[in-house]
Amino acid sequence: MQDDPFPAAERILSEIETVFKKDPKLKEFDIVPVTVNHNKSPVLHVEHCLGLESWCVRHVYCYTYRRLMDARHLRNRREGALLLNPDVTTFWNMRRELLQASRLDMQGELHFTAVLLSRKPKCAEAFAHRKWVVKRLLLADADKDELLEKELQVSQYAADRYPNNYHAWSHRMWCLTHLASFASAPLLKEWSSSEAWVSSHVSDHSGLQYRQFLLNHLLELKQFVSDDVTEKARKSILQFLSCSWSEDTIDTVQSALIKAVGLIASELLLNTDLILRFAGHEALWCHRRYLLMSFKKFLTSRRADMNGIGGCRCSKVSAIRNRCAEKSSEGVSALNKDKPSNHMNVDGVPLEKDQKLSSEELAALDRYLCNLQGAMIWHEVKLISNCRPDELHQQRLAKQHHKWLSHVLKLDIPAVTCHN
Amino acid sequence: MTTLMKDVVLTVNHPKELLLQKHADYIAAYVINKDEYEYCMTEYLRMSGIYWGLTAIELMGHLERMNKQEILDFIKQCQDDSGGVSASIGHDPHLLYTLSAVQILIMYDALDVINVDRIVQYVKSLQQSDGSFYGDKWGDVDTRFSFCAIACLSLLGKLEAIDVEKAVEFVISCMNFDGGFGSRPGSESHAGLIYCCLGMLSITGHLHYVDADLLGWWLCERQLPSGGLNGRPEKLPDVCYSWWVLASLCILGRSHWIHREALVTFVLACQDPETGGFSDRPGDLPDPFHTLFGLAALSLLGDPTVKPVNPTYCMPQHVIDRLGLRPQKLSL
CATH code at B126?
1.50.10.20
Choose from B3, B218, B224 for mutation: most chain A CBs within 10 A.
B3
Class of residue B62 by CB neighbours under 10 A (exposed 0-12, middle 13-18, buried 19+):
middle
ipTM over 0.90: yes
Nearest residue in B to A283, CA atom: B233
DSSP codes, B119-174: HHHHHHHTB-TTS-BBSSTT--B-HHHHHHHHHHHHHTT-GGGS-HHHHHHHHHTT
Nearest residue in A to B97, CA atom: A89
Structural domain contains residue B331 = no
What is the 3 state secondary structure string of B190-230?
A: CHHHHHHHHHHHHHCCCHHHCCHHHHHHHHHCCECCCCCEC
State whether residue B327 is helix, strand or coil: coil
Q: Do B3 and A131 touch (CB under 8 A)?
A: no
Residues from chain A contacting residue B180 (CB–CB below 8 Å):
none
Q: How distant is the Cα of B94 from the closest Cα of chain A, in angstroms? A: 9
Q: Do B232 and A66 touch (CB under 8 A)?
A: no
| Pairing, β B315-316 against β B309-310 | antiparallel
Number of domains in chain B: 1
Give CA–CA dist B53/A403, Å, rounded. Answer: 42
Among the partner residues A131, A286, A390, nearest to B233 by beta-carbon distance: A286
Residues from chain A contacting residue B5 (CB–CB below 8 Å):
280, 393
Q: Do A281 and B234 touch (CB under 8 A)?
A: yes
Predicted pLDDT of residue A189: 93
State whether residue A321 is helix, strand or coil: helix
Structural domain contains residue B2 = no
- First vs last Cα of chain A: how many Å apart? 70
Residues from chain A contacting residue B184 (CB–CB below 8 Å):
170, 173-174
Q: What count of Cα atoms within 13 Å lies in the side-chain half-sphere of residue A159?
A: 27
Q: Does A65 touch chain B (CB under 8 A)?
A: yes
Among the partner residues A2, A174, A393, nearest to B5 by beta-carbon distance: A393
Class of residue B164 by CB neighbours under 10 A (exposed 0-12, middle 13-18, buried 19+):
buried
Q: Find the DSSP H helices in A200-281.
A: 205-220, 228-240, 255-277
Residues from chain B contacting residue A392 (CB–CB below 8 Å):
2
CA A173 to chain CA centroid, Å, is 8
Q: Do B233 and A65 touch (CB under 8 A)?
A: no
Q: Does B80 touch chain A (CB under 8 A)?
A: no
Structural domain contains residue B329 = no
Structural domain contains residue B281 = yes
Predicted pLDDT of residue A304: 79
Q: How distant is the Cα of B323 from the closest Cα of chain A, in angstroms? A: 32
CA angle A84, A88, A90 (to 5 degrees): 130
Q: Does A209 touch chain B (CB under 8 A)?
A: yes
Q: Do A96 and B138 touch (CB under 8 A)?
A: yes
Among the partner residues A132, A205, A286, nearest to B139 by beta-carbon distance: A132
Structural domain contains residue B7 = no
Nearest residue in B to A403, CA atom: B217
Give CA–CA dist B95/B85, Å, rounded. Answer: 7
CA angle A33, A9, B89 (to 5 degrees): 105
The strand pairing partners of B86, in sequence order, are: B93
Residues from chain B contacting residue A213 (CB–CB below 8 Å):
186
Residues from chain A contacting residue B214 (CB–CB below 8 Å):
408
Q: CA quadruple A220, A224, A229, A231: dihedral positive or negative?
A: positive
Among the partner residues B1, B140, B232, nearest to A128 by beta-carbon distance: B140
CB atoms within 10 A of CB A317: 18
Among the partner residues B37, B139, B188, nearest to A61 by beta-carbon distance: B37
**Residue ranges of chain A with pLDDT lower than 70?**
1-6, 224-227, 243-254, 307-357, 417-420
Give CA–CA dist B235/A396, Å, rounded. Answer: 17
Q: Does A162 touch chain B (CB under 8 A)?
A: no
CB atoms within 10 A of CB B292: 28
Contacts 24+ apart (CB under 8 A), B61-65: B61/B307, B62/B24, B62/B28, B63/B107, B65/B24, B65/B27, B65/B28
Structural domain contains residue B167 = yes
Residues from chain A contacting residue B235 (CB–CB below 8 Å):
164, 205
Q: What count of Cα atoms within 13 Å lies in the side-chain half-sphere of residue A225?
A: 8
Q: Does A286 touch chain B (CB under 8 A)?
A: yes
Among the partner residues A206, A294, A394, nearest to B188 by beta-carbon distance: A206
- Tell me if A109 sits within 8 A of A129, measured CB to CB: yes
Give CA–CA dist A143/B142, Å, rounded. Answer: 27
Predicted pLDDT of residue A1: 36
Mean pLDDT of B140-148: 98
Nearest residue in A to B178, CA atom: A290
pLDDT (tens digit per residue) in A42-101: 999 999 999 999 999 999 999 999 889 888 877 777 899 999 999 999 999 999 999 998
Among the partner residues B2, B90, B187, nearest to A391 by beta-carbon distance: B2
Domain of residue B310 covers 20-323
- Please give the interface size between A and B, counted as residue pairs whose CB atoms are below 8 Å apart: 116
- Tell me if B188 sits within 8 A of B139, measured CB to CB: no
Q: How distant is the Cα of B188 from the closest Cα of chain A, in angstroms? A: 6
State whether residue B18 is helix, strand or coil: coil
Q: How distant is the Cα of B223 from the closest Cα of chain A, in angstroms? A: 13
Q: Do B3 and A281 touch (CB under 8 A)?
A: yes
Q: Does B7 touch chain A (CB under 8 A)?
A: no
Structural domain contains residue B187 = yes
Among the partner residues A58, A216, A289, nearest to B37 by beta-carbon distance: A58
Nearest residue in A to B221, CA atom: A400
Q: What count of Cα atoms within 13 Å lies in the side-chain half-sphere of residue A100?
A: 9
Q: How distant is the Cα of A225 from the closest Cα of chain B, in angstroms? A: 24
pLDDT (tens digit per residue) in B152-166: 999 999 999 999 999
Q: How distant is the Cα of A88 from the closest Cα of chain B, in angstroms? A: 6
pLDDT (tens digit per residue) in B218-258: 999 999 999 999 999 999 999 999 899 999 999 999 999 99
CB atoms within 10 A of CB B29: 13
Give CA–CA dist A194/A360, Å, rounded. Answer: 40
Structural domain contains residue B172 = yes
Choose from B44, B137, B241 for mutation: most chain A CBs within 10 A.
B44
Choose from B4, B137, B138, B196 for mutation: most chain A CBs within 10 A.
B138
* Cα Dmax for chain A: 89
Q: Does A174 touch chain B (CB under 8 A)?
A: yes
